[in-house]
Structures are given as C-alpha cells and as structure tokens.
C-alpha cells in the first residue's frame, strides 16, 4: 500500500519548511564561533536571557490567533476570509505596539531587576522593537503556511538568514558593537520582513477589521495562549532559576549546549509542525482520516529517534567544532535536551482531537498544569543539581506535557495511535544509546565515528528484526523520495 496522500504532502512541505527553518536558524549556529570569541561569557549569558524575554513576548502577543485563523478559514467564503485576515493582523499589531510603548518607559527598571548589566535597558528596548517587527513579519509566513506555499516561505527565510548573518558579522567584528550589534542586525531584517507582511495584508485583505469577526477568533485563540506559553516557559524558566543558583558564566555554557540540544527542533519538529498544522485543520477527523494520524505519529517517531541518536553520539564533536574548550563541559547535557524536544514533538499530533473539537479551554488547563509542574521541578532540581537539574527538569516537563495533551485529546476524540510499535521503537532507541555510550566509555581505541555508524546501523537493523518497520513504510519512504527528487 502506498503512503497516504496527506502524509506525502506533509513530507513535501516539511522538507521545504525544514530547509527554510535550518537556514534561518543556521545564523545562530554560524555565529556561535563569533559569540565565543568576540563576546564575553557574561555577554552570552545576557543574550540568552534576552532571547528568553523575546521568546516569551513573541509567543504571547499573537493572542493564539494563528490557530484560530487556520481553524476559521477552511469554512469561510472569500469576503469572510479577508475580514478574518484583516481583523487578526491589525489586532495583533495594536497589542504589540501597546506593549512596546509600555516597555519603552520601564526597560531600565526591568533590566536592572533581571541583572542585564549596565546597558541592559538599551538591550531590552531594542529587543522590544525587534519583537514588534518580528510578529508583524511572521504574519505573511503564517499565511504562506496555510496556503501551502512553502517556496515563498523559503525565500523569505533565506533572506532573513543571510541578512542577520552578514549584518551581525559586520556590526560585531568590524564595528566592535558587541551584543548591541547583534540586536541591531535583527532590527534591520525584521523591519524589512515587517514591511513586506504589511503590504501583503493590505493587498490581499483590504477591508476594515470587524469586532464581530475578531471576538470568535479570540474565544478560540485566547485559551491557546497558555499552551503557547508552555514552550517559552519550559525553555526560559531554567535560565532564570539558574540565575538564582549559578554564575552567569555557567548560564552561558548551558545556553550554548541548549542550542545544540535544540537541533532536532530546528531540522525536524518545527518543519513538520509548520507543514502539519494547516493540513490537520483542513483534513479534520473522520473515519477516512483516523489512520493518517497513527501513521504520521509513527513516521515522526522513527525519524526523531534516528536524529536523537545522531546528535547524542556526536555531541562532543559538535561542541568542539563550533565552540572553544571552555564550553565542552556542556556536551553531557545535549542528549537530555535533545530527547526532551523529541518528546515535545509528539504533541503536534496528539493535540489534534482537542483542537478539531474546539476544546481549547481544556488545552489551556493542561498548559497551566504543565507550567506549574515545570517551575516546581526546575526549582527543586536546579537547587540541588545545578545545570544538570535544569536539563532533567526540561525532559520530565515535556514528558508531563505530552501525557496531559494525550488524555485531553483522547477524551475529545479517541484515536488509535498504535502504541505497541511506539514502545518497541523507544526500547530500541534507548538500547542503542546506552550501548554506544558504554562502548565509548570503555573502549578509547575505536574512533567515535565508527561507533556512531555502528549504533545507527544497529538501530535500523533492530527496526527490521522487530518488524516495527515493514514493507509498507519502506515503499512509502521510497515514494516520497521519488516525488521529492524527481520534481
């Protein structure tokens, strides 16, 4: 049996989104050698905290309207679609502008409270401007996602990537502006994309916003704010709590390791999420689509496990290549962070039942519980285990979140997810991880790359031997590859 059409479409779109996402995020990784050589560890620590503030604002200010738009558009006529787009865009811009004005008068005090240093107020103000521009610019990308136009998305992502990379190099190395130079490079590129996004909305939805259209969108979207907050809270809370117990230098080391732990999010989870969400809203849940959810969950599990093993096996080498020796101590945290994000990726699929049955309030409640659980686990584990505690708190928090989402969605719309195969897959992954790391520890004479190839080959072999991967999956993968590379 050939792979199902929606999964094939997801594979095609996710590949393009993946390229765009990798290129846009690649700037951060290519700049790591510059950060570690031209910025102090304290500057990197401040940068990490600023990124957490930025992530928090970017998540909250859209007010959950992205999902609400995608939920509303499939059943809307042309005139209604224009009104939905216009109402959502200008409301988001209004909220973002109000927050920017408020922060402009309090940036200094907030920066002092968060220990951002002497220039912290300026850094925070520039970050607030960047957030305003970024959110407005993202709107056009959200619409490209819904319209399944991944190549337009890719072009804008590449433009942003190249611009931030080149401008950061110029400001940091040639102008000696340090951290402020990095922030200015984002301002310029986010501003360009913001202008393009505004032009897009004016051209495609040149109608006045309507409160009657906005209110239903907010009713659906506002509960999703809490769920949207889960990711930034789980990402940034450890940094702020670490700030209570460890030095800013240690936060910088942990933050660099965290970036590499998030590689799986960049190359797999985020691209799949961008491609999957619009398909999910358009496809719905019925007797003809239920099997698709089970299949896509399994395909994600296989790909995610394989990437987890690659990143985990090569963690030391990755840090050695991109950073200085001072950061190598963080290599042991990369597998923990990687697996945490691998687990988090399952919620993109498990959440379907609740989202398509409009149970966003239940999703919001799950988000509240996950945030509370994360804050408690972070405080306790960091207090007693410092950086290691932060990494483990991230892992168990994402596991807790996925379990909560699963039960909420199953209650709204029960689905057979094929957990027997997933359990076998998990056992194989853990076995390969432990075996290779044990061999690395006890046998120094074997090159790391040989052991990595051995571990990955064993993973594939065990997949066939246990029959969790069969002819149908192989045929489906071949079909996707043929469609992708013979375009």
pLDDT in tens, the chain (487 residues): 445 566 667 767 777 777 776 666 666 667 777 877 888 777 887 887 888 788 888 888 998 898 899 888 887 788 888 999 999 999 999 999 999 999 888 888 888 887 777 788 888 899 999 999 999 999 998 898 888 888 888 888 888 888 988 898 899 888 888 888 889 999 999 999 999 999 999 999 999 999 999 999 999 999 988 888 888 888 878 888 998 888 888 888 898 899 899 889 888 888 888 888 888 888 877 777 788 888 889 989 999 999 999 999 999 888 888 888 888 888 999 999 999 999 999 999 999 999 988 899 999 999 999 999 999 999 999 999 999 999 999 999 999 999 999 999 999 988 889 898 899 999 999 999 999 999 988 887 788 889 999 999 999 999 888 878 766 666 655 554 444 444 4
DSSP string, 365-377: HHHHHHHHHHHHH
Q: Any residues with CB less than 8 A from the CB of 133 and at least 6 apart, and which? A: 187, 190, 191, 193, 194
Q: Are 322 and 32 a contacting pair, CB within 8 Å?
A: yes
Q: What is the pLDDT of residue 28?
A: 65
Q: What is the pLDDT of residue 23?
A: 67
Q: What is the pLDDT of residue 8?
A: 67
Q: Are 350 and 402 a contacting pair, CB within 8 Å?
A: yes
Q: What is the pLDDT of residue 243?
A: 86
3-state secondary structure 476-487: HHHHHHHHHHCC
Predicted model pTM: 0.78
Distances (CA, A) of 356 to 282, 345, 360, 451: 10, 18, 9, 44
Distances (CA, A) of 454 to 210, 303, 445, 457: 60, 17, 15, 5
Q: What is the pLDDT of residue 484?
A: 41
Q: What is the pLDDT of residue 157?
A: 81
């Amino acid at each position: 049996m050939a792979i199902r059409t929606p999964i094939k479409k997801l594979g095609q779109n996710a590949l393009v989104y993946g390229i765009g996402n990798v290129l846009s995020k690649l700037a951060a990784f290519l700049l790591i050698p510059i950060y570690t050589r031209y910025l102090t560890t304290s500057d990197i620590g401040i940068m990490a905290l600023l990124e957490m503030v930025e992530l928090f604002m970017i998540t909250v200010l859209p007010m959950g309207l992205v999902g609400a738009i995608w939920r509303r558009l499939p059943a809307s006529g042309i005139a209604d679609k224009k009104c939905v787009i216009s109402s959502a865009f200008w409301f988001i811009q209004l909220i973002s502008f109000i927050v920017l004005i408020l922060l402009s008068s309090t940036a200094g005090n907030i920066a002092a409270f968060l220990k951002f240093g002497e220039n912290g107020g300026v850094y925070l103000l520039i970050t607030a401007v960047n957030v305003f521009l970024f959110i407005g610019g993202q709107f056009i990308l959200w619409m490209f996602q819904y319209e399944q136009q991944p190549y337009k998305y890719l072009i804008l992502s590449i433009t942003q990537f190249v611009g931030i990379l080149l401008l950061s190099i110029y400001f940091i190395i040639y102008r000696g502006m340090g951290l402020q130079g990095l922030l200015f490079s984002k301002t310029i590129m986010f501003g360009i994309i913001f202008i393009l996004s505004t032009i897009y909305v004016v051209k495609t939805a040149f109608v006045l916003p309507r409160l009657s259209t906005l209110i239903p969108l907010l009713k659906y979207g506002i509960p999703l704010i809490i769920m949207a907050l889960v990711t930034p809270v789980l990402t940034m809370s450890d940094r702020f709590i670490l700030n209570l117990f460890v030095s800013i230098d240690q936060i910088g080391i942990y933050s660099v390791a965290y970036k590499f732990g998030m590689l799986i999010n960049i190359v797999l989870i985020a691209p799949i999420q961008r491609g999957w969400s619009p398909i999910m809203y358009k496809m719905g849940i019925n007797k003809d689509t239920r099997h698709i959810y089970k299949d896509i969950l399994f395909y994600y599990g296989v790909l995610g496990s394989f990437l987890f093993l690659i990143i985990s096996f090569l963690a030391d080498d990755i840090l050695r290549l991109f950073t200085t020796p001072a950061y190598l101590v963080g290599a042991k945290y990369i597998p923990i962070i990687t697996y945490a994000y691998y687990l988090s990726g399952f919620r993109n699929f498990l959440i379907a039942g609740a989202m398509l049955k409009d149970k966003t309030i239940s999703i919001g409640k799950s988000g509240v519980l996950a945030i509370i659980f994360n804050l408690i686990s972070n405080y306790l584990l960091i207090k007693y285990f410092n950086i290691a505690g932060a990494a483990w708190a991230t892992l168990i928090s994402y596991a807790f979140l996925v379990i909560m989402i699963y039960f909420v969605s199953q209650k709204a719309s029960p689905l057979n997810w094929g957990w027997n195969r997933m359990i076998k897959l998990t056992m194989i992954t853990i076995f390969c991880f432990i075996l290779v790391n044990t061999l690395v520890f006890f046998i120094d004479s074997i090159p790391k790359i040989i052991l990595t190839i051995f571990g990955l080959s064993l993973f594939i072999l065990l997949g066939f031997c246990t029959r969790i991967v069969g002819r149908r999956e192989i045929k489906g993968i071949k079909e996707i590859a043929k469609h992708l590379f013979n375009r």
